[in-house]
Amino acid sequence: MSIEAFRAELGDIPQEDNPRIVQQRSRDHYWYSPVLKAKLDHVTAEVVVSPRTIDEVKTVLRAAFRHDVAITPRGAGTGNYGQAMPLAGGAMLNLMNMDKVLSIEPDRVRAQAGAVLEKIDHETRQAVRGELRFHPSTYRMASLGGFIAGGSGGVGSVRWGGLRNLGSILGLKIITCEAEPRELDLTGEDILKVAHAYGTNGIIVEAEMPLAPAHDWVDMIVGFDDFIEACRFAEGVALQDGLLVKEVSPCAAPIPGYFNRHQPYLKQDQSVVLLMVAPVAVPALELFISHHAGDLRFRSDNATEDELRRLPPVYELAWNHTTLRALKVDPTVTYLQTRYPTVEHVRRIVDLLGDELPMHIEITRQDGKVTFAGLPLVRYTTEERLEEIIRIHEDNGCDVFNPHRYTLEEGGMKRTDQRQLAFKREADPKGVLNPGKMVAWENPDFDFSAGKAWLFDGLNPVH
């Protein structure tokens, strides 16, 4: 690998090599995990390159292929698993200069990979009163390309499912990393070759996404003395086909205590359900709350302008913002990503783990079924205990998607996605793109069932 020869071929494409800035740009939000923090803290690239056009992306990838320079793509760097961290050094490929919304139709939008999700929605709302179907709670920062390559779902998934579902992404334009990089337009099932592949098998430069009708969503917070009652209410809301909601999230006490700015509205020791409700559904939702004996603590349509200026939107209390709020108060907590088949599974885990695992659920819809996706907090003590908590989940029929792993497979279904692997052979034959993130590429024989964490050989390279 010759980073100098690589850089010499980039012409006037912006480059940054100040070590402090490069290290900052080599990080994502991996530090939510004490396990990843210990493993990845030292990781840094040698240079950040910031192409402005598709041709410039091709120039970077051509040079990377020729000189064997590792390339790690990066949007806003809000991923949580070290996905956007350059385990093998080399160059960070910053896509945030490619941020244009390219076309808007009533039912779809096409934008460049570096477009920020909130900006996309701003333009589609103005043009056609439409909005992205769902977005991560990092909506105000995250890029479209980073969401597709590194995210899964979020606010709106209660109605529309996640990125993995057919129809959630309409098309992608990607650039391959070969002697002569190709521009490929992927549609249909081909999209899944690259979606949620951490940029290991192609650089996304454009994406086309479906739109839903936009609403002036009303934030609500409903209190419950009993967390399981809060879960039953939340499931009920999602099952009511006539109640148009974008976010439903039960958070067990003491989690609401971490929502600092909302404290004046909350009652101590209550669990809450966070909601985003379409204005047309508000009266019916009020009725539904009263049927469940819920305690409506906050609604944004009754708040003053001054209150609204001071308060974060409810979606910034939800998803991994819940963890962030907790970390700001207690830096020793971390979290897990889980799935509970029924409310009874939630109850069992709450009973078994108590305050060691303050429970946080995101209600989502998967293949038409209302599902309890968990993002519980964990009062972290040791990595061994964390593994035990994972085992307790699995022994009780609950899935865990381990957020304390930096590889695609270990954080996901613990098996190789053969489509993604085959596509990497085609689109990145030298393995230059985001090395160390796809176990199957580095070590095809790795046994995921053995329960050991995989360690990338190239981590900690000496250049």
Nearer to ligand FAD, 78 or 168 (CB): 78
- Could you say whether residue 374 binds ligand FAD (CB under 6 A)? no
How far is it, in rounded angstroms, from Cα 145 to Cα 157? 18
Stretch that binds ligand FAD, among 220-228, 268-276, 313-321, 389-397 (CB under 6 A): 313-321
How far is it, in rounded angstroms, from Cα 448 to Cα 116? 35
Stretch that binds ligand FAD, among 67-75, 219-227, 334-342, 390-398 (CB under 6 A): 67-75
Subset of residues 321 to 350 that bind ligand FAD, contact rule: CB under 6 A: 321, 324
Evaluate the omega torsion of the peptide bond into residue 331 and state whether it is cis, within 30 degrees of 0.
Answer: no
- Could you say whether residue 28 binds ligand FAD (CB under 6 A)? yes
How far is it, in rounded angstroms, from Cα 169 to Cα 165? 8
- Could you say whether residue 223 binds ligand FAD (CB under 6 A)? no
Nearer to ligand FAD, 30 or 340 (CB): 30
Which residues lie across from 211 on neighbouring strands?
A: 132
Nearer to ligand FAD, 7 or 321 (CB): 321
Judged by CB under 6 A, which of 36, 76, 87, 273 binds ligand FAD? Answer: 76
HSE toward the beta carbon, residue 408, CA cutoff 13 A: 26
* Least distance CB 431 / ligand FAD (angstroms): 15
How far is it, in rounded angstroms, from Cα 458 to Cα 229? 49
- Could you say whether residue 51 binds ligand FAD (CB under 6 A)? no
Which pair of structure tokens corresponds to residue 406?
Answer: 């930096």
Which SS3 state, helix, strand or coil, does residue 234 take? Answer: helix
Nearer to ligand FAD, 288 or 315 (CB): 315
Backbone φ and ψ for 113, nearest 5 degrees, come out as -60, -30
Q: Are 326 and 333 in contact (CB under 8 A)?
A: yes
Q: Looking up tokens 């309890």, which residue turns up?
A: 372
Nearer to ligand FAD, 82 or 223 (CB): 82
Nearest position to ligand FAD, beta carbon: 146
Strands 47-49 and 91-94: parallel
Judged by CB under 6 A, which of 61, 64, 91, 95 binds ligand FAD? Answer: 95
* DSSP character at residue 279: G
Judged by CB under 6 A, which of 33, 50, 59, 72 binds ligand FAD? Answer: 72
> Taking CB under 6 A as the rule, which mask of x and - marks residues 150-169 in contact with ligand FAD?
xxxxx---------------
How far is it, in rounded angstroms, from Cα 367 to Cα 241? 15
Nearer to ligand FAD, 64 or 289 (CB): 64
CB neighbours of residue 21 within 10 Å: 11
Query: Contact positions toward ligand FAD, by CB under 6 A?
Result: 28-29, 72-80, 83-84, 95, 113, 136-138, 142-143, 145-147, 149-154, 198-199, 203-204, 319-321, 324, 434
